Amino acid sequence: MPTTKKNPDDRGQEDASVCGGTPPAKPGAAPAADRPTGALCAREGLGTARPPKGGLLAHATGTAPPMSSPRTTAELAYLGDAVFELLVREKLLCDGVPFRKITRRAKDFVSAPAQAAMYHKVFDRLTDEERAIAKRGRNLHSTSRAKNAAVSEYRHATGLEAVFGFLHNKGDAARLAEIFEMCVSE
């Protein structure tokens, strides 16, 4: 069966929704102008997009101001866990770690015992505001139990994650990178 080459300007609605563009209208759905569109699509020329309002991609591209809504310590720790994990993955990829070994090597950084050691390593170099966030995270009462760590290690790791979440939420990428480098340096 012969295949025909598609004209790049003749993209169907499916392409737009897959890449985060404006999805096709559904009965009772908001007008296209009110539906979110993807920034990636705009950069790739796949459709029009409004700048994202927040989140990691928006901070990375410089299109969003810092998130202004106050966050609970638990939310900061949750967000910080994801930010820290992403920074570790980027570091391992940049360091040339073979792909098949990345997950195993990432555990050396993202485990509660490792993060607790990092907490103690950087605590004295944190600002007063960051120290207060770290202490709030450390003292956070968690409903989950640490599986492969002592309770104190788990709590200190949560304190470190809260700092990372706080800095991400604040939009302070330079300080985030500085603290991360302190954590992972020998």
Enzyme catalytic residues = 81
Query: Which residues lie closer than 8 Å to 139 by C-beta, 6 or more apart?
Result: 155
Q: Provide φ and ψ at 34, rounded to 5°.
A: -95, -10
Query: Any idea which residue has 């866990």 for tokens?
Result: 81
Q: How far apart are CA 102 and CA 86, in angstroms?
A: 12
- The DSSP call for residue 49 is -
Q: Are 28 and 21 in contact, with CB atoms under 8 Å apart?
A: no
Instruction: Give the helix ranges, DSSP H, for 29-101.
Output: 39-43, 56-61, 73-94
Q: How far apart are CA 21 and CA 37, in angstroms?
A: 5
Best CA proximity match to 118, nearest among 42, 63, 182, 38:
182
